[in-house]
Amino acid sequence: MQEVLNLWNWIYANQIAFSLVSVLLMLIAGFISSLVCKVFLRGIVRRFILHSHKQTDHVKEQRISRRLANVVPVVTIYFMLQLINGLPNPLVEAIRTICGVLFIINITMLINELLDTTINAYTRRHGAKAGSIKGYVQIGKIVVSSIATILVIATLSDKSPGIIISSLGAVAAVLMLVFQHTLISLVANIQVSSSHVVQLGDWIDMPAGNISGEVTDIALHSVSVRNWDNTLSQVPTKNFITETYTNWQPMFESGGRRIKRSIFIDQSSIAFASRELLESLESTESGKITSMAKYLEQRVGTGSNQQLIDHGLTNLGLFRGYILDYLKQREDIRNDMYVIVRQLSPTAEGLPIEIYCFTSNVFWAEYEETQSDIFEFMYATAGYFKLGIYQKPSGIDVSNTWPQSRKRAV
């Protein structure tokens, strides 16, 4: 016991040895406090910060617990420094400065971790379609980091933070130049988020960047889009204000997706409807809708060829009416929205007959199936009305028109 006392008296009398032992004791106390915090803080973080009683989100628990555990040793060393007398003033000031800097840095990182948890908490409460607050969280991180930087500089220089802030006025122009993209992105992110023009899960189309896909992330500087070919595109947030794009999400919400497509009729095949044409149509049964005979009875009734001509009935007019009736009887076509079969201006490829309607199948595969079904039916039934579908002649078509003697000569 006497030897231990003599050793302590020697250490206390020797300033260098006393300083080394004091620093070592403070480090040991900080290490022990860090271990204790890591053991007991996870449950507190899970219950009071993450608001979860289940052992989920292990990564978040570990990260927040680690940040808290890093703050406690710094505070422990700082308070132990106040209790130990006899240390040299330069060493005391150095330890205080280091503790102050580490405290600011760890508190800043802890606040940033807590800001990250608000994104998941907001999504769980309001749903993924409520809008992204990631941009606002990133703005908060920038503000917190900027304040922390000023406090660290003030701590290292032993000056008031007010003096540091006032001195930044001289370099304001430089800061504006350095952070111009951040400021532009900040304004753009606020406009995009507040107006809800783009949200997570929306299908957007941006022809300028050849982008078409689902929005997966909305950040301060960029919006992430997973294209339908499984590539990932990063679009600057400001582009959603300065460039043209299409958001298909309102179409999904309306429950009706537009079909707007044409077939080309050979104009030379258009003629007045004759009694012979009607009789041939009446004998044709369609497995798709009501029989052709019933449709013709409702449309034209009975009459001679001259009466049909006098009424201006044409085979194309009958065809358009028949297709319109067919569309209205389909269960996947929205009759509460526009259902139109119309002519467009004639072209060198023929007379366009356009289908303009809305289908309740808004998803891609079902939509394409409905559209294909309609146009296959139109192509198949046009011949019953003595209408020709225009198609540019190919080499085989031209070859088939040559006389056999000409072919053999060639």
Q: Is the Cβ–Cβ distance between 289 and 281 less than 8 Å?
A: no
How many C-beta neighbours within 10 Å does residue 55 have?
Answer: 10
CA distances from 45 to 42, 114, 118, 290 (A): 5, 10, 14, 68
Q: Which residues contact 56 (CB under 8 A, 6 or more apart)?
A: none
* pLDDT 10s digits, 180-201: 677 777 777 777 766 677 888 8
Select the more confidently predicted residue: 82 or 205: 205
Decide: 362 and 252 in contact? Cβ < 8 Å. yes
If you average pLDDT over residues 320-344, what whole number do you get? 91
Higher pLDDT, 68 or 144: 144
| pTM: predicted TM-score of the whole model, two decimal places | 0.54
Taking all residues of the chain, what is their mean pLDDT, rounded to a whole number? Answer: 76
Give how far Cα 158 sits from Cα of 108, 144, 161, Å: 20, 21, 9
> Can you tell me the mean pLDDT for 120-127?
68
Which among 367, 334, 357 has a CA at the least distance from the CA of 262?
357
pLDDT at 56: 45
Q: Model confidence over 245-259: pLDDT tens digits?
A: 888 888 887 888 999
Using DSSP, state whether 159 is helix, strand or coil: coil
For residue 11, what are the contacts with CB-CB under 8 A and spacing of at least 6?
17, 18, 21
Contact (Cβ atoms closer than 8 angstroms) between residue 259 and residue 358 = yes
pLDDT band at 14; cut points 50, 70, 90: low
- Sheet architecture: strand order including 340-343: 257-265, 351-359, 340-343
Which tokens hold the place of 11?
Answer: 């250490």
Predicted pLDDT at 46: 56
